[in-house]
A and B are shown apart, each in its own frame.
Chain A
Amino acid sequence: MTSSTQNTSSAAWLARVTPVAIMATLVAMAVSIPLTHAFAAPGDPGVIATLLRWTPVIATGFGLNLIMSFVAVILGTASGALLGIAQISTIGWVRKSAFLFTEFFRNAPTLVLLFFCMFLLPFEITIGDTTIPFPPWMKAVVGLALSKMAYVSEIVRGGLQSIPSTQWEAAEALGFSRWDTLWRIIIPQCVKRMLPPWMNTYAILIMSTPLASVLGVHEGLTMTRGAISAEGRPEMLAPFYLYLLAMFFIYTYPISLWTIRLERRYAVQG
Chain B
Amino acid sequence: MSATVEEREPRVSTGLALLLLAVLISVLAYALAFLGLRGTLPKELRVYAVLYMAGSIAAWLVIRWTARRADPVLFPLAAVLGGLGLAMIYRIMVGRGEPSFADEQALWLLVGVGVFILTLVLIRDDRQLDGFTYTIGLAGLGLLLLPLAPGIGFEENGARLWVRFGSLAFQPAEFGRILIVIFLASYLSGKRELLAEGIGRFGLPRVKDLGPLLLAWGASLAVLFFERDMGASFLLFGVFVVMLWIASGRVGYLVLGVVLFAVGATLGYLVFSHVQARVDIWLHALEPATVLDQGYGQLAQSWFALATGGLVGTGLGQGSPTLIPLTASDFIFSAFAEELGMLGGAALLLLYVALIGRGLRIGLERMDGFGKLLAVGITTALALQVFVIVGGVTRLIPLTGVPLPLVSYGGTSRVATFVMLALLVRVSAGPWQRKAT
Q: Do A and B originate from a single complex?
A: no
Q: B residues within 8 Å of A by Cβ?
A: none
Q: Which residues of A contact B (CB under 8 A)?
A: none
